Amino acid sequence: MAEPVKGRIHSIESMGLVDGPGVRTIFFLQGCPLRCSFCHNPDTQATTGGTLMTPEEVLAKAKRYRPYHREDGGVTFSGGEPLLQGEFLAATLKLLHDNGFNTCLDTSGYGDIRYYDKIFPYVDTILLDVKAFNPTAFRKIAKVDMQIFKNFIENLWTYGFKGNIWLRHVMLPGYTDNEASMIQLIRVIEPIANFIERIEILPYHTMGVDKYKALGRKYELEGLPPMDKAVAKKYQILANKIFALYIHSSRYNRKVESRMSTENNIRCELLPPEQITALENEFKEIPLIHDIISASSETMWTHFKFFRVNKGDFVFRTGDSANYMYIICRGHVKIFHNTADGREQILYIYNKGDFIGGLNVLGGKDYLYMGQALEDSIIAAFPKADFDRYVAGSPAILQRILLKSFDRIRWAEDLINRLTTSNATMKAAALLLRLKDNFGVPSKDGIRLDLTINREEMGNYSGLTRETITRKLGEFKDMGYIDFIGNKVIIIKNLEALEDFCF
């Protein structure tokens, strides 16, 4: 019989509060390939020593403390470098996940790559430590090649990771305590930007110096004073601001690139008159076309423009003006947008008889999404000028449009509930923007929200737990985005920063 896999555990913390969301049981694993100048746990670096434990023993220990975890808490693996014990970590994470534990991994991205695709599908949150921002500084601080770290973040999604990342950087006085370094930090982590939920700048401290003396080792940063906590907090706010601006600009650039790339694909051609005549009876049976003609006159038929749209061609693109309402006469059209991580998210598929853009034309709103033919199709385009003149004054037609729109809204709400493309920061920011529309009143201090809902209801509204929404609001306060007056009043002080997370 094969020996059960075992891991070397340096120590266990039963109720950690800073290494992941909520209350955590933290297992510090023995062994680390890095030799960071500021390491405050040098006793975890050796790959020998520690207490041997099986995954089942870790599970049993975690179950003892489970009542304290509540909704947000769980188990965190730290070190040392947990990824160094890849086989043990993979087996333990799967076992914990199968038993319903939230899991967190504190790592620098250096370990046994053979097990990454067995580890990261079972990690909910990564605490990612970014040592430095260029190869020279990385080698000086961590004594390892930065390229390994870059390979790790560039390939993280291929290992099956679908969770969130808490980015961490230990700030050393005189090293990275400047704006240029914060800009470099955001550039370094671009490949994983869509995973990042929060950015923490941790002030360097000297609490580990005595451990080096006990081990008979020289402390490399001897004499370097601790980092001022207030200064570190200032740069944390700056880093988050730079990151929010990056997210905002990257989304805008994706929209522009998408629009530019699709312009050459627009090959919609008007149907010749003889084909329109041949198909007239068929098209007039389409309910909305029939209703529009009935509400005006038979001559309204000549106001429609009929296009042939080939498979893969675009009917409209993000940012296009709503100059027409489109009615599908033949074929299918998908409506989609690109998510924060660049993936296509289909919102709806329209069939013969369906219409697109009724509310856009009615409200004069540009299209926020793209419409693309799934097969060779024929589309009827009804001009906005005629819509305003004949449709806007017809209760029967407006009722048809609104009822169909309500069906789509219900579908969209269900879709949103199932999507996992936005992280807790984005959801919390979006919640505040929705509450602004419902409760917001301008004041001398910002936008005042006098709320009639509590934190638990705010969590339910945003798809987050009470603990998570409370934590995210606290982070926004620390960054100067909002402030509190008691439990029922929120002041939005930096609306633009919140919008950058959402738009």
174 with 309, same domain: the answer is no
State the SS3 of 273-289: HHHHHHHHHHHHCCHHH
- Asked whether residue 15 carries a pLDDT value surpassing 50, the answer given is yes
What's the domain range around 110? 7-258
Evaluate whether 492 touches 481 at the Cβ level (below 8 Å): yes
**Domain presence at residue 2:** no
Tell me which of 390, 418, 446 is where a domain ends: 418
15 with 147, same domain: the answer is yes
- Tell if the pTM clears 0.75, that is, is over it: no
**Domain presence at residue 1:** no
Rounded to the nearest integer, the mean pLDDT of the chain is: 87
DSSP codes joined into one string, 139-206 = HHHHSS-HHHHHHHHHHGGGGT--SEEEEEEEEPTTTT-SHHHHHHHHHHTGGGGGGEEEEEEEEP--
pLDDT-based confidence at residue 51 (cuts at 50, 70, 90): very high
296 with 439, same domain: the answer is no
**Domain presence at residue 456:** yes
58 with 186, same domain: the answer is yes
- The domain that holds 353 is classified in CATH as 2.60.120.10
124 with 56, same domain: the answer is yes
238 with 296, same domain: the answer is no
**Domain presence at residue 286:** yes
Residue 369 pLDDT: 83
428 with 413, same domain: the answer is no
Q: What does the buried/exposed string (b/e) look like for 85-104 if buried means 16 or more CB atoms within 10 Å of the residue's CB?
A: bbebbbbbbbbbbeeebbbb
- pLDDT tens string 406-423: 666 665 554 454 444 457
**Domain presence at residue 167:** yes
Average pLDDT over residues 41-51: 94
**Domain presence at residue 150:** yes
Residue 420 pLDDT: 45
- The domain that holds 88 is classified in CATH as 3.20.20.70
Tell me which of 363, 385, 418 is where a domain ends: 418
Task: Locate 163 and state its tokens.
Answer: 């969770």
Percent of the chain with pLDDT over 70: 90
Tell me which of 399, 418, 437 is where a domain ends: 418
110 with 250, same domain: the answer is yes
244 with 291, same domain: the answer is no
- pLDDT tens string 132-153: 999 999 999 999 999 999 999 9
Evaluate whether 328 touches 402 at the Cβ level (below 8 Å): no
107 with 254, same domain: the answer is yes
274 with 240, same domain: the answer is no
- Asked whether residue 4 carries a pLDDT value surpassing 70, the answer given is yes
**Domain presence at residue 160:** yes
**Domain presence at residue 201:** yes
- The domain that holds 460 is classified in CATH as 1.10.10.10
- Asked whether residue 346 carries a pLDDT value surpassing 80, the answer given is no
Domain count for the chain:
3
368 with 432, same domain: the answer is no
CA dihedral 22→27→31→36, nearest 10 degrees, is 30
